[in-house]
Amino acid sequence: MPDLAGLIGSGALLDVLLAGLVLEAAVLLALAQRSRRGIPARSLLATLLAGGLILCAWRLSVAGAWWGWVGLALAAALAAHIADLAQRWR
């Protein structure tokens, strides 16, 4: 059984976290649509997109990707975060 450092270093743990984030989004959107209650889809997706892009940047970094891709993912995460804050501010 691999140790935690091995899971993080290989990126496997990040893959699991990203899959969990996608599953969380699907479940929350389905529940909101079914019950007509919950977090609005636009707000939920902006929040999860920001977190997901940070995880993608981390995953790219662990995989040894070019620094430009990591920076692009972080810039996109910042844009999603600002969009999320702008929606909440209204």
| Domain segments of the chain as ranges | 4-89
Q: Give per-residue pLDDT as tens, 72-82.
A: 999 999 999 99
- 3-state class of 11 per DSSP? coil
Q: For 48-57, write each residue's pLDDT tens digit.
A: 999 999 999 9
Scan for tokens 């972080």, then name that residue: 74
pLDDT in tens, 11-43: 888 999 999 999 999 999 999 999 988 888 888
Comparing CA positions, the residue from 79, 86, 88, 41 lying closest to residue 57 is 79
Q: Look at 37 and 9; give whichever has higher pLDDT.
A: 37
Answering whether pTM is above 0.75, one says yes
